[in-house]
Structure 1
Amino acid sequence: MKKAMKKLMVAGVLCMAGAAFLAGCGSDSSSGGKQFLNIATGGTAGTYYPLGGALAEILNQNIKGMNASAQSTGASVANVNMLKDGSVDIAFIQNDIAYYAANGKEMFKDNKVDSLRGLAALYPETIQFVTTQDKGIKTIADLKGKKVAVGASGSGAEANARQILEAYGITYNDIDVQYLSFGEAVDALKDGNVDAGVVVAGFPTAAVQDLAANKSAAIVDIDPKISDQLMQKYPYYTKMVIPKGTYPGQTEDVNTVAVKCVIVGTTKLSDEMGGEIVKALYTHLDRMKAAHAVGKYITKDTALEGMSIQMNAGAEKYLKSN
């Protein structure tokens, strides 16, 4: 009788251990074998949010057992912190912010995040130095002595503004710095309270279109030679041309630079799942195009361009396949 009881106890322990193992794999009966995936995006009025919703839909329809959902967040910097604490599984982030986090620079100085892994680079987020025609600003060099809205303090846009100004030999001591978000910057331009503002977004940007409809807006050209120097120092920048006619009254192409929107996970995301996510995404790009105008820039051919951090091995393998 004692031997029988002992056998039953051993069997019970083994059964519990097996159940615990299955639960750790996300395969317990309470979840119905589903894979839950939280996707961090940005504000509801931005670009990340509709794209995140479209991505969740693609994953739910094309990966067995997937239960993905997109949530509105404070965008890139907030998303890195959410990835770090495990409250989200993948996120939309600017490639420069991902670079800062992975290398412990800028707003992540002394707070390096080693666990980030890239899944795909999506589309360019163009850096636009916006002014109005009446200010007489033709080049970045003309910003000396001017009131410039450089972005919210500690934001990616502010770091972009500082780096580009630095490439022209301009420091914050040479300008009247205004720490304003791009929406606030455009309002200040309308009111004549600043001379220029920095907007980082896919173009045409609604806030700039609105400014152009109310005043004669202008985008300041960045010299391609300066762009080359910038790209040598900061590997996340790419060259970009804003074609003439993008905004009302824009009669010439404008040279500038861009960072890229990237999808990022962490080391917690398996290589297998990373591969499945990018395969589902790049075989259903029509849904991303329907979600937002920038969807037309999302292609498998450019999915590794501007990736500023180590890749998820499964995603990289798929993206490098024919």
Structure 2
Amino acid sequence: MTFQDLSEAAPYPGRLPRDPIMRPTPLVILTALGIVALAGCGDEDDPRLRLATGGPEGTYFALGQDLAEFVARDVEDLRVEVLRSAGSIDNMERLAAGEADLAFVQSDTLGADGVRLIAPVYEEVLHVFIRSEIRDEVRKLSDLRGRSICVGAKDSGTANVVARLLDHLGLDDASTPRRHLSWSYAVAALAADECDAACALVASPFPAGRELLESQHAVLLSLGDFAEAGGELDGICAANPNLSRTMIPVAAYGPAPTAPVGTVAVWALLVARRGVDDESVKAVTRVLFDNQAELAERQPVLARLTDPRTLPTLRFPLHDGAAAYYHRDEPVFFVRYADAISLGLTIILLIGSSFITARAWLARRKKNRIDVYYLETDHISEGAETADREGLEDRLTRLHELRRKAFRELVKERLLADESFTIFQDFLQSEYEAIRERLGEK
């Protein structure tokens, strides 16, 4: 069997093709039914969070197993079930389908609206290894045109990032064949000269990378000069804003590399579905950070576990349960914002007091205006006892106009429709009737 046959038979370890000859026997069926029945007798109220990780040889899977162990140890009535997967894209799809509650994903992976951040776990660096024999011909990523590239397992974060970089450089699948192989198969393909490059998006340094470099079958390919402003790395990151420029330093893998290797990086994130219980997510977050030192002894990448508030550019909003953990030491709302609340109440009281004062002033002003109408009525009526017919008619006309003017002012709210206005109307009417009576006597 050639390596080509082997790679097609098993895309990554742990996922083998189904044997078409195998058929379920009655004994197998009865056994399965018995297991299901026994499982149904268990505690249905036992909270269990399903954590999508990665392949059994990857960092995500190892992290998931350690996290599940510590949650079982430290949190009563909460368990984490570790699920194997193809990687970041597969994990995001499982979250969207409700097949997982928690997942490890890379920060550049597109996700559904319901995905929420728990914690940035560590930074993953893109490693591009090329066969040593072609190191003089291939000095940059675009030089791989026409050559075979192992881009990572299908639906993995590595495959996702590498595909976008190749597309950005115009290296389509037709001109530059892409092979979806997990790391162990990609290394074997390099050794067998069946591919020219192998990619891995992982924490740096990683032991398998050192083994490959020490075998002298491969060398690291730089994506650009890290020190050069406006160079290839900046162009790649400008086209892919969720990637950040970084480098693999000299001697990161023992004797290799001998010069800094420019490349790109993403954050490995622990995320959850929005609907996952806040208290459960808070408990998982607490286990991660409270046991960081102990967990980092098993998985050194956890030494880089980070508070997401220090990385404001991450694309996923924070889960409410995780936020409750990060803000646990902050005072409650009214204590935290006591000064602001006090200032706000003072301003409200001042505004209210000013409003009352202004309203009272307007009321006094309107009352003063009605007093003017009283005086005008009295002035018009003055001398009516000795006036001739023409003088009396003139007074009636002026009183009538004064009444109309008062009502216009009332409609425009320049006068108050209160008892003072009623008294004014009665006073004006009495004067009007008195003058009409004298006019009748004439």
Query: TM-score, normalized by length of structure 2?
Result: 0.56
**Relative to structure 2, which stretch is displaced further, 302-311 or 225-234?**
302-311
State the secondary structure of the residue aligned to 2:108. Answer: helix
Counterpart in the other structure of 2:53: 41
Per-residue Cα deviation, 1:145-179 (whole angstroms, up to 9, x for no partner): 32222334444322312222344444444424434
Q: How does 1:271-282 map to 2 (within 5 A)?
A: 271-282=278-289
Q: How does 1:2-17 map to 2 (within 5 A)?
A: none
Which residue, 288, 294, 298 being the options, matches 1:287?
Answer: 294
Per-residue Cα deviation, 1:229-282 (whole angstroms, up to 9, x for no partner): 333333321222212222344212211111221111112213343333223311
State the secondary structure of the residue aligned to 1:59. Answer: helix
Counterpart in the other structure of 2:128: 129
Which residue, 221, 234, 241 being the options, matches 2:240?
Answer: 234
Counterpart in the other structure of 1:307: 314
Counterpart in the other structure of 1:83: 95
Aligned residues: 280
Give the drift of 1:70. 2.6
State the secondary structure of the residue aligned to 1:54. Answer: helix
Q: How does 1:129-148 map to 2 (within 5 A)?
A: 129-135=128-134, 136=136, 137-148=138-149
Counterpart in the other structure of 1:62: 74
Q: Which structure's residues are more often strand, by fraction? A: 1
Partners of 1:122 and 1:303 within 8 A in 2: no
Relative to structure 1, is the Cα distance of residues 128 and 58 closer, same or farther in structure 2, using a 3 angstrom cutoff? same
Partners of 1:124 and 1:259 within 8 A in 2: yes
State the secondary structure of the residue aligned to 1:96. Answer: coil
State the secondary structure of the residue aligned to 2:316. Answer: coil
Larger radius of gyration: 2
Counterpart in the other structure of 2:160: 159
Matched AA of 2:102: I
Give the drift of 1:31. 4.2
Give the drift of 1:85. 3.6
Counterpart in the other structure of 1:250: 257
Partners of 2:51 and 2:80 within 8 A in 1: yes
State the secondary structure of the residue aligned to 2:315. Answer: coil
Counterpart in the other structure of 2:406: none
Please tell me whether residue 259 in structure 1 is matched to residue 258 in structure 2.
no
**Relative to structure 2, which stretch is displaced further, 305-314 or 156-165?**
305-314
Counterpart in the other structure of 1:207: 208
Gaps of 5+ in 2: 1-41, 330-442
Matched AA of 2:144: L
Relative to structure 1, is the Cα distance of residues 197 and 233 closer, same or farther in structure 2, using a 3 angstrom cutoff? same
Whose relative contact order is higher, 1 or 2, with alpha carbons under 8 Å and at least 6 apart?
1
**Relative to structure 2, which stretch is displaced further, 130-139 or 35-44?**
35-44
State the secondary structure of the residue aligned to 1:260. Answer: strand
Partners of 1:235 and 1:306 within 8 A in 2: no
Give the drift of 1:316. 3.4
Distance 1:181 1:140 in 2: 20
Partners of 2:119 and 2:308 within 8 A in 1: no
State the secondary structure of the residue aligned to 1:120. Answer: strand
Matched AA of 1:115: G
Matched AA of 2:251: G
Which residue, 274, 277, 291 being the options, matches 1:270?
Answer: 277
Give the drift of 1:285. 0.2
Partners of 1:58 and 1:287 within 8 A in 2: no
Please tell me whether residue 298 in structure 1 is matched to residue 305 in structure 2.
yes
Partners of 1:262 and 1:307 within 8 A in 2: no
Matched AA of 1:294: V
Partners of 1:121 and 1:303 within 8 A in 2: no
Query: TM-score, normalized by length of structure 1?
Result: 0.75
Per-residue Cα deviation, 1:173-224 (whole angstroms, up to 9, x for no partner): 4424434333322211111222212222223334332322322521111124
Relative to structure 1, is the Cα distance of residues 76 and 217 closer, same or farther in structure 2, using a 3 angstrom cutoff? same
Partners of 1:147 and 1:175 within 8 A in 2: yes
State the secondary structure of the residue aligned to 2:160. Answer: helix
Please tell me whether residue 101 in structure 1 is matched to residue 111 in structure 2.
yes
Distance 1:170 1:81 in 2: 27
State the secondary structure of the residue aligned to 1:123. Answer: strand
Counterpart in the other structure of 2:189: 188
User: Identical aligned pairs, as a percentage?
Assistant: 26
Distance 2:310 2:57 in 1: 25
Give the drift of 1:52. 1.2
Per-residue Cα deviation, 1:270-313 (whole angstroms, up to 9, x for no partner): 33433332233112102320222322222336874663323213
Give the drift of 1:116. 1.7
Distance 2:317 2:158 in 1: 23
Distance 2:325 2:222 in 1: 37
State the secondary structure of the residue aligned to 1:126. Answer: strand
Counterpart in the other structure of 1:17: none
Gaps of 5+ in 1: 1-29, 103-113
Distance 1:62 1:127 in 2: 35
Matched AA of 2:91: N
Partners of 1:119 and 1:311 within 8 A in 2: yes
State the secondary structure of the residue aligned to 2:69. Answer: helix
Give the drift of 1:130. 0.7
Matched AA of 2:120: A
